[in-house]
Structure 1
């Protein structure tokens, strides 16, 4: 910028000299001398102006530095006074007072914890009493089967296991989100028995039949997913899985081979366990569940009786769905969680887990779930268990890829 100013001064001198040469009849030497005098005078004036400006800036900087040093000196004096005041304090007595206050605070915290524990115990006792008197709609565990084991085995031999599904729908759109396989057994006379009626839980020799049923369900789930993908759709299917199946090494190896042969569709398969079974898994069964997750499959935990869970740990184990009874969630949410019922779904979603309100029985319950911002629901009020869509149920050319025999 300064060079440009010098250029303008030189041009001004040259212009003035040229003007005098032509207009005032100056000789070339006189015109050149005038131009030189103008240039030198302009340079001197510019340098003087720049020097005055630099001196003013320097004086201002010195003045500001003086003020800063004065402020620092004052701050140093104040700090010294405070340090001297702290040195003169008798902290021993004050520390004794603080220790006494902390002791009292610890006692108060302990009393609060005991009161909360007593309150939770009273709430649990009240819930049990209300349940016995029919006041609370709690999820019902499977009772002993009424269909004899021999009848179940005969029906399986004759291919009378009917693959129905219980849809999981989105709210409020009520669009299909996933299918849960609901295998029914066709008895003599054409009557269909639900799983609680025939599933041989806790019966001698029943574990083998359960594994056989679950193997058939897994193959059917793979067929459903494959057909849906051939139709350009993507559906998620929940497949029942029992701890007794995980405990059997031969069955588990067959299941792993089946998943390995159909690895491309495994992300749409979710193995569903009851929460009561989930909490009793031993290390071997947990490790085998982890192997299923490594193959790409997901996990679903059904009929949870609490939402006071470590959701980060559940997500780390591959759990993607967690279902609770809709009636209990609506009527007594405090028995399930300490969160507000309208916040728990969003909180669980942070960990990649979908909360499903199962067992909806009325439109009023659906409206309550909408108020609580629950996004997934299942139950007779939305859709009763029934056959899968005809286009998915048809046997196509997409034969099941299997690496192990039944």
Structure 2
């Protein structure tokens, strides 16, 4: 194609030169002027053609150079992206290694805790592990305690989660965790049933510890899914005051202090009000790690918000029915019986000044939701928004190794006589 184009151009130049030379010859210039014009025209045409061709070649070279530069820039960006990805993979591998090491340390801590509990129970000898004043049928108490012991020993402890939603959108903001024990037949034991013997039997710390361990596993799994959702984890004052349990508990949380923003420890209002100096000091140690607290089982809304703020209590849970029963009208405005000088809708405004958020719990009906929203409460929990659901063991196994098998030793049954 290029040769044909060159031939056509040469023919064009020749024709132009012939026209010029013939014009000069016919106008009296003679043969000499015609030949000179022919030769000169051809020379000028070919010189002009050379200039044009060099200009085109220069433009083509520049285009090629620009294309090479663009390709180099694309290649450089791909190399940088690949380098960033490789660095991310190395960081992930390093983090996984650290997590695995931390999990091994946690298991050792838990095993040590169980050994301590076993030694303490062995030291009890033939003394009763709990007082007879618990009420109910004393003959059934040893059997129930044995059921609790076997459930812990065989790791028949399930984790249940119930959503806490933001209102009015009802999007899940938190979960509350519950522990449930299962007997040999698979029947689920409710807390009201097993705590009556677990508390005096010294097993609440073991249950709290298992619950905490599984909450840590779930928080890690949610973090891997990039779901920034916190979990409320119940902890008893007995665990906070236990000289054998709490140091291990604190060490475990120190290893996992990166989860401080996702774990909220929940305590009953009466237990919180009755806390001693040891419990308060240990709560402060957890707060120093960044962990927060929540009060539930509220029976009185006339609470000391300054005390809550000093103790890093960031949430209070108030039963929806209690809230509605507290409402009363005075001087033409709606107030709370416990706080008659404060408009009902200003209660949450007051708590927020102290950094405390109100959660309406045990919400069962849409009518309650309407009343709650009128009180400017933006968090709710209850069967209306979702019942507690068991977390499958497979999910926990994906989040980390299973907790160690608890095998506390108890006094002989004869001791309960």
Which TM-score applies when normalising by structure 2? 0.58
Match of 2:378 among 375, 379, 400: 375
Q: 2:248 aligns with which of 254, 267, 282?
A: 254
Residue 148 of structure 1: aligned partner: 144
1:75-128 C-alpha deviation (Å, 9 max, x unpaired): xxxxxxxxxxxxxxxxxxxxxxxxxxxxxxxxxxxxxxxxxxxxxxxxxxxxxx
Match of 1:322 among 301, 312, 316: 316
Q: Which of 168, 171, 185 pairs up with 1:175? A: 171
Contact 1:169 1:178 in 2 (8 A): yes
Show CA shifts across 1:326-361 (max 9, x none): 101012233443322221112212222110111112
Distance 1:239 1:373, change over 3 A: same
Check conservation: 1:258, 1:401, Cα contact below 8 A. no
Whole-Å separation in 1 of the counterparts to 2:399 and 2:193? 34
Instruction: Measure, in 2, the Cα distance between the counterparts of 1:373 and 1:243.
Output: 31
Cα deviation 1:7-40 (Å, max 9, x = unaligned): xxxxxxxxxxxxxxxxxxxxxxxxxxxxxxxxxx
The answer for the alignment partner of 1:288 in structure 2 is: 282
Runs of 4+ in 1 over 4 A off after TM superposition: 143-147, 397-402
Structure 1 segments unaligned to the other structure (5+ residues): 1-142
Give runs of aligned pairs for residues 155-194 of structure 1, distance below 5 A.
Answer: 155-194=151-190
In the alignment, is the contact (CA less than 8 A) between 1:228 and 1:392 conserved in 2?
Answer: no
Structure 2 Cα separation of the partners of residues 182 and 202 of structure 1 = 15
**Partner in structure 2 of residue 204 of structure 1:** 200
Q: Deviations over 1:356-402 (max 9, x none)?
A: 111112221112112222111111122111124x7993422655999
The 3-state SS of whatever aligns with 2:397 is: coil
Q: Residues 280 and 236 of structure 1: is their aligned pair in 2 closer, same or farther, counting only changes over 3 Å?
A: same
Retained in 2: the 8 A contact 1:356–1:375? Answer: yes
Q: Which residue of 1 is the match for residue 222 of structure 2? A: 228
Match of residue 125 from structure 2: none
Q: Could you tell me how far 1:181 is from its partner in structure 2?
A: 0.9
Q: 1:227 to 1:299 in 2, by over 3 A?
A: same
Gaps of 5+ in 2: 1-134, 328-335, 409-417
Q: 1:149 to 1:335 in 2, by over 3 A?
A: farther
> 3-state SS of the aligned residue for 1:169?
strand
The structure with higher relative contact order (CA 8 Å, sep 6+) is: 2
2-side partners of 1:342 and 1:392: how far apart?
A: 44
3-state SS of 2:383 partner: coil
Tell me what 1:357 maps to. Answer: 360
**Which of residues 292, 302, 305 is equivalent to 1:298?**
292
Q: Provide the rounded CA distance (Å) in 1 between the counterparts of 2:402 and 2:157.
A: 18
Corresponding residue of 1:346: 349
For the 8 Å contact 2:318–2:360, the answer to whether it is kept is: yes
> Residues 299 and 364 of structure 1: is their aligned pair in 2 closer, same or farther, counting only changes over 3 Å?
same
Change (3 A) 1:276 1:223: same
Q: Does 1:263 align with 2:266?
A: no
Distance, in Å, in 2 between the alignment partners of 1:264 and 1:192 is 33
Change in 2 beyond 3 A, CA 1:365/1:266: same
* Contact 2:217 2:399 survives alignment (8 Å): no
Tell me how far 1:191 sits from its aligned partner.
2.2
CA distance in 2, matches of 1:212, 1:202: 9
